[in-house]
Amino acid sequence: MKTMETTEILELLDANEDLYIIDVREEDEVAQGMIPGAQHIALGTIQDRLNELDASKPYILVCKAGARSANACAFLEDRGFNVTNLEGGMLAYDGELEFK
């Protein structure tokens, strides 16, 4: 499984790269702020929402600490998706936040 450090995602965000970020945390966690531009798909709903994802796009998955997003990465990787897990999750991320 591919992984990425939070410094790498911050550099990509600063460079205005087109990123496809999926936040797999629960609703109450997401309310505390998300990485700008991230799409919220709670881990327990990924299987039901596969039709919303494009297998041709590279996704970065994030959760609170990295374990749930690693599980989501494994699930999606098994289905042919190009995914990267954000190491340390939101606990390690110290960039800008977006509130939805």
Active-site residues, by number, are 63
Say if strands 2-4 and 82-86 run parallel, antiparallel, or are unpaired. Answer: parallel
- Written as six digits, the tokens of 25 are 């945390």
How far is Cα 3 from Cα 85, in angstroms, rounded to an integer? 5
CA 23, CA 43: separation in Å to the nearest integer? 8
* Residue 45, CB-side half-sphere exposure with 13 Å CA sphere: 14
Whole-angstrom distance, CA of residue 66 vs CA of residue 14: 22
